[in-house]
Each structure stands twice: as C-alpha cells, then as structure tokens.
Chain A
Amino acid sequence: MGKILTRMGDGSRVEMTAAEIQQDLEAAAQDAAERANVPSLTDDEIKYLLDLYKCKDRVVGVEEGKECCLTYDNMTSKIKRAHIPISKIQQLLLFERGLGADTLELAHIDYSFKQCKHVVQYEKPNMEQAVLQTIAPIFYGSMPNLGLYSVPDGPVANPGDMLPLGKIEESKEAFEQMAEYAIKDMVYVGSELYEKAGADGINFDTTAAAGDAEFYAALKAAEILHDKYPDMGIEMGMSGEFILGLHSEIEYNGVRLAGLYPQDQVKLAEQAGVTIFGPAINIGTNESLPWNLARSIVFTKACSEAAEIPIHANLGMGVGGVPLTLTPPLDALSRASKAHVELCRLDGL
C-alpha cells in the first residue's frame, strides 16, 4: 500500500505510511494513558483508527444506529462570523431546521458571563422569541472567563502580575475573589434567562481556561442554579485535558481541582448538578492527526466510562483531534467525529 494522505495538527497535508500512522497511534495512546492514569487503547481500537485513516473516502460517518445528538456552542455568532447578515433567531432556526442541530444555544457576541450581565435585559426578549419559534431545547451559553475579573478588565489585582514576583498567597486570594465575582454573574445570567425568559438550560463553555479557580466558580454556579431550579439543563464544556493549577489548592467538595483529568472532572460536575458534560482535549499542532486523535480518544473514553450523565465531547477548531484551522477540514472533522462517537460511546458532539 502506498502512502496515506492525512494532516498535521495545524491542518497541513502530510503523507504517512500505515506503519508510521500505527506508530503514532500507539505512542499517543500510551502517552495519554500514562498522563491520566487510565487504560490505553486496545489492539482492536488501534486497528479501527488505522483503518479509518486507510479509508480513502473524503467524508466518513457513523454506522447506522450509532447516531448521536448534535449540540453547538456560541451558535448565534457562527453564521454571522461568516459575514452573512442574519439575526440571532434566524441563526437558531437555520441550525435547527437546516443543519440538524439537536440543541440550540443563544449567545451574546462577547461570549463571557461578565459581559452578558450588562445585556441580559436585551437577551431575554431574544430568548422568549426563540423559545416560541423553535422546538429543540435552548441553552443560553457563555464562558466563565475568570480573567475578566482582574486588572485591566476587572476590580481584582492580576495574579499574573503577582506570581512572577513570588506573591503566591496574594495571587491565591485574588483568584478566590475573582471566582466569587464570576459565580454571582453566572448565577444572575442563568437565573434571568431560565426563570424569566424560558431558556431550557445554561451552558458554561470553555470552563477552566483560567485554571482551577475558574473550574471552582463554574461548579459552584452550577450547584446554586441546580438548587434553585432542579429541572434546569446545565451543560459544562471544558477547555483542556487537565485543570491548570494556577491557584493550586482550591477544592470543590473536598477534592483538589488542580490536575484533574476528564474522568475526574465529570464526577465533580455531576455532584454540582451538571446534566451534560463536554471534555475538551487540545490538539498538538506539531503532531499528526492520528497521534492527536488517539490521544483524545483515550481521555474522552475514560471520561465517558466514568460518567453517569450524557457526554457531548468538544470537537472543533483545535480540539478533539480536529486541526487548529479557522474552518475545520471535513476529512479530519468527520474522522474525529466518527471515532469519538463509536469508540467512546458518546451521547453527543
């Protein structure tokens, strides 16, 4: 067999032999398994992935009966971002009726809860109208984005300025203050959209991008919202394979958050009342797609097996074995989607 055309993590085309692909698959699976202390891929799973890359079809899909939900984040900016003049509600209708989305998400273009707080009274009529015109469950989505609560964007001193000076305790206090501000904003926005505008749920997207304190804030906000509204849908999408320990000692329900991998993240999300969890495994742009995909599968599969709530893995620009390009190539996106759904038994993407 000749060389197989695939890609690197930055989307560039590369030709590899079957043996080279197999080597990358095995090495990446082993690396991920050791990092997260979870099982590696079986020989059958490696063969499955190798066959996926040997297949010359431009686009692949899941077997009949293995279809899953399709959910999207930041839905109401995606079409507009392509410079197509379209309203938020039209975008939701397009996703639902034209693109087969199973859940919908109304979002503000400045996709952070802190910014959404200021426009929540404008977002509520949008949500009311959207709920009346669509059938699928609608989330209101945004990012916790803890960075916005520190200088120069917020009231708290910036831990990034203090850490290099060795002011460790001060930086921890700053992270804790930022978390408290973020919790208030997330609970406020979630309550307004759910209780007063009819949203079916809330999505905490790209959670923990600012580390363990941000994960804590999102968990705590989910817990408060779940206590207030037991039937509320709460989705939590993550931002990386493990929780960055920028505070390093912050805990939720007695568990230290720094360094947690997806199979442990999801257990805390369950305790907080989250109803859909989305692990996110970032791509290595210097490695091949087979390497990246095998790695993502190991982490996601362990998460899926540990979970008692639905898992909708993040697959898109630079996550889940999809290259870091503005528009994901279809060959790569369809292979990553098929492999994740079939090997990790996902409930959704």
Chain B
Amino acid sequence: MSEKIFKEAIEAILKGDTDKATDVAKRGLDEGLNPIELMDKGFIQGINQVGDLFETGRLFLPQLVYSAMAMEKATEIINAAIPEEKALVTGKVVVGTVEGDVHDIGKTIVVSLFKANGFEVLDIGRDVPVERFIDQAEKFGAHIIGSSTLLTTTMAMQKQLEQELKKAGLREKYKTIVGGAPVTQRWADRIGADAYAQDAGDGVKKVKLLLTA
C-alpha cells in the first residue's frame, strides 16, 4: 500500500498537481504512514526528478512552478503532522539580483527550484541594494542570503555584501551563497562567500549543505 502512495506522491509532484499532492499527503497520513517516510520516499523523490528533468531541458519553468506549488502544499500538510522538534528542516533563504543588474531570469529559476525543495524563500527582486539584502534577511529571519549577478560590472556588489555584513557584525549570523553567469568558485572564495552555485540545481545542493553545516 505504502509503495502505491509513494508512487502517487512522485506523480503528483512531477505533474505539478497541487490537488493530487494534497490528497495523497492527507491519504498517506490517514493510512498511518510515517510522515517523514512519506516525504522522503514520495514527495522528495518527485521533486528530485523534477530538478533532473529541468536541468536537462525536459521540463520547463512553468511546470517547475506548478511542481513547486504542489510541493509547498504537501510539505505544509506533512510538517503539520510531525512533532515540532522533528519537523523537516527547510531553512529560510533571501534571494535577489544585486544593485545595477536587472537580469532576473536565473534568479526566478532559483527561487522556483528552492521553493520546490521545501525552502522558505523571500524573493527580493532585482537591482537590490546591499542594505536591502541585509534588512530583508533580518526581517525574514533568514538563514541564508543568496545573491545573483549576470554582469562582470556588478559582481563587486557581492563583495560589498560580504563587507557590509561584517561591518554590521552580522556575517556569522548568515550563510551566503553567490551565483550568476560570470561568478565562479574562485570569486566566491576571494570575497569570502560561504558557497557558490553554478546553476539552480547546484544551488539546492549547496543550500542543503549550508543548512546542515
């Protein structure tokens, strides 16, 4: 029986079907399945497949958004059934494109995939000044600050973010992750960011690592 439910959960996420994901989550819990097992063997398997399909050009952004919405609903139902101390650690992430840069396609993909993977995400948009990254992270209670830049000319804002966090005495409070077309691991190391993500899929892996570090 549980195998059938897990399969249905995977299908619901792959199809981005929020109603079905809601139904499967409720039914699984009603039938006495362990909520964490239902998440791990069902919904998370589904979202991992969604990520792989997106990365290879076999599933596209609108479908990814639907899958993220379905995953969000399933996570909400299952988390409510788990004792607070055992609730799934998801993490809060603030994401934005740095000041001077209005490119936000990559950032939009990152936000969708992060949400799909159960992270609480605050998308603060594009052309975001450093002060706003910090202010929003404080208000949101973020664990991680993610900044994106497409331009070599605006990469310096990621460095400035690191410096301003230090000046404000907040650097140790947050993990930082950087991404964008011209950004590399070397750049992340040079400015002192905690992680570099090559693409949205890599970002999910790195954020999970940062949250458990």
Report B-chain residues with C-beta under 8 Å of the C-beta of A261: 57
Chain A window 147-181, contacts with chain B (Cβ cutoff 8 Å), 1 for yes, 0 for no: 10000110000111101101010011000000000
CB closest chain-B residue, reference A210: B105
Complex Cα distance, B127 from A231, in Å, reads: 43
Contact in complex: A242, B57 (CB < 8 Å): yes
Given A258-B57, A259-B60, A261-B57: A246 in contact with B105 (beta carbons within 8 A): yes
Most buried by A among B62, B127, B185: B62
| A12, A164, A284: the one within 8 Å of B108 (CB) | A164
Contact in complex: A318, B105 (CB < 8 Å): no
Chief secondary structure at chain A's binding surface: loop
Chain A count of residues within 8 A CB distance of the other chain: 38
Question: Is A310 engaged at the interface, CB distance under 8 Å to the other chain?
Answer: no
Question: Is B112 engaged at the interface, CB distance under 8 Å to the other chain?
Answer: yes
Contact in complex: B56, A35 (CB < 8 Å): yes
Chain A window 169-200, contacts with chain B (Cβ cutoff 8 Å), 1 for yes, 0 for no: 00110000000000000000000000000000
CB closest chain-A residue, reference B58: A259
Report A-chain residues with C-beta under 8 Å of the C-beta of B60: 212, 244-248, 258-259
CB closest chain-A residue, reference B125: A161
Contact in complex: B66, A168 (CB < 8 Å): yes
Chain B window 63-82, contacts with chain A (Cβ cutoff 8 Å), 1 for yes, 0 for no: 10110010000000000000
Complex Cα distance, B104 from A12, in Å, reads: 28
Question: Is A303 engaged at the interface, CB distance under 8 Å to the other chain?
Answer: no
Complex Cα distance, B184 from A326, in Å, reads: 12
B interface bracket (residues with beta carbon within 8 Å of A): 20 to 34
Complex Cα distance, B115 from A259, in Å, reads: 22
| A160, A168, A244: the one within 8 Å of B107 (CB) | A160
Complex Cα distance, B61 from A210, in Å, reads: 12
Count the A-B residue pairs with Cβ separation under 8 angstroms: how many? Answer: 86
Question: Is B152 engaged at the interface, CB distance under 8 Å to the other chain?
Answer: yes
Chain B window 90-111, contacts with chain A (Cβ cutoff 8 Å), 1 for yes, 0 for no: 0000000000001111011001
Given A160-B107, A242-B57: A152 in contact with B127 (beta carbons within 8 A): yes
Contact in complex: B61, A10 (CB < 8 Å): no
Question: Is A315 engaged at the interface, CB distance under 8 Å to the other chain?
Answer: no
Report B-chain residues with C-beta under 8 Å of the C-beta of A9: 184
Complex Cα distance, B54 from A245, in Å, reads: 9
Complex Cα distance, B102 from A153, in Å, reads: 9
Complex Cα distance, B127 from A160, in Å, reads: 13
| A152, A166, A243, A285: the one within 8 Å of B57 (CB) | A243
Question: Is B156 engaged at the interface, CB distance under 8 Å to the other chain?
Answer: no
Given A152-B102, A286-B198: A164 in contact with B182 (beta carbons within 8 A): no
Contact in complex: A284, B61 (CB < 8 Å): no
CB closest chain-B residue, reference A245: B60
The 3 closest A-B pairs by CB, nearest first: A245-B60, A242-B57, A248-B60
Sample 25 A-B pairs with CB under 8 A, ordered by A number: A12-B186, A160-B107, A160-B126, A164-B65, A164-B108, A164-B111, A164-B112, A164-B115, A168-B66, A211-B61, A211-B105, A212-B60, A241-B57, A242-B56, A243-B57, A245-B59, A246-B60, A259-B57, A259-B58, A285-B185, A286-B185, A318-B181, A318-B182, A324-B182, A324-B184
